[in-house]
Amino acid sequence: MERLLPGSIQARGENIIRLLHAFASSTMLLNSKQRNLEVPATKKSNDRAVYFDYLSLFMIFYSRKTAFLLHSLPVVIFLFMPLLLQYPNIALRSSLSTFSGLIIGMLIHASAVILAIVIPVVFSILRLLLSSHAMSWFARPYLAFLMFIPSSLIGLLIPRTIWISLPVSQKATSEKLSNEVLSDETFFWGAFGLYAFITLVYHQAGLEGGYLTFVMSSTMLISWFFFRVTRKHFGHQSLKSLAVYVIPSIPCLTYSVYFGGFFVQFLIEKMGMMGSLPPPYGYFVPDAIVAAIVGVVTGWCMGPILPLVSRWLARPLILRCLLQLSVLGLAISAQFFPYSEAAPKRVVLQHTLRHADASKIVDSSFDFSVVDANSLTFLFKNSPEAAKMLHIGSDFSLKADHHSIKSSWVAIFPLGFLFSGSLKFPAPQNDVSKQYSYLPSLSIDESALLSTTRARRVHLDLNLGSLKEVWVTVLNITGPLSNWSFADNKLPASESMDGGPPSYICRLSGRSHEKWTFWLEANTSEPLRVDVAVLDQHLFDDTRKLKSLFPSWVDVTTFSSFLSTYYF
Nearest to 95 by CA among 78, 81, 105: 81
* pLDDT at 41 (0 to 100): 46
pLDDT tens digit sequence for 84-141: 877 777 777 777 888 888 898 899 999 999 999 999 999 999 999 988 899 999 999 9
* pLDDT at 394 (0 to 100): 74
User: In the chain, where are the structural domains located?
Assistant: 1-44, 62-335, 344-567
* pLDDT at 217 (0 to 100): 94
66, 208 Cβ separation under 8 angstroms: no
167, 83 Cβ separation under 8 angstroms: no
The pTM assigned to this predicted structure is 0.85
* pLDDT at 423 (0 to 100): 93
**How many Å separate Cα 514 from the centre of its chain?**
42
Statement: residue 37 has pLDDT above 60 = no
Task: Name the pLDDT band for 165 (thresholds 50, 70, 90).
Answer: low
Nearest to 268 by CA among 374, 372, 369: 372
Average pLDDT along the chain: 87
| Neighbouring residues of 206: CB distance < 8 A, sequence distance ≥ 6 | 45, 46, 48
DSSP code per residue over 488-505:
GG-----EESTT-SEEEE
* pLDDT at 42 (0 to 100): 46
Backbone dihedral angles phi then psi of residue 230, each to the nearest 5 degrees: -80, -20
What percent of the chain clears pLDDT 90, i.e. is strictly above it? 55
DSSP code per residue over 215-264:
HHHHHHHHHHHHHHHHHHHH-TT-HHHHHHHHGGGHHHHHHHHHHHHHHH
* pLDDT at 176 (0 to 100): 46
* pLDDT at 450 (0 to 100): 63
Statement: residue 412 has pLDDT above 90 = yes
Other beta carbons less than 10 A from residue 563's beta carbon: 21
What is the three-class DSSP state of 459?
strand
* pLDDT at 543 (0 to 100): 94
Name which of 108-117, 194-203, 229-238, 463-472 the model is least confident about: 229-238
Distance (Å) of CA 103 to CA 96, 191, 194: 11, 10, 9
Decide: residue 414, CB within 10 A, 0-12 exposed, 13-18 middle, 19+ buried: exposed
Q: Give CA torsion, residues 542, 545, 547, 548, to 10 deg.
A: 180
Backbone dihedral angles phi then psi of residue 35, each to the nearest 5 degrees: -65, 135
* pLDDT at 34 (0 to 100): 62
pLDDT tens digit sequence for 141-153: 999 999 999 999 9
Task: Name the pLDDT band for 542 (thresholds 50, 70, 90).
Answer: very high
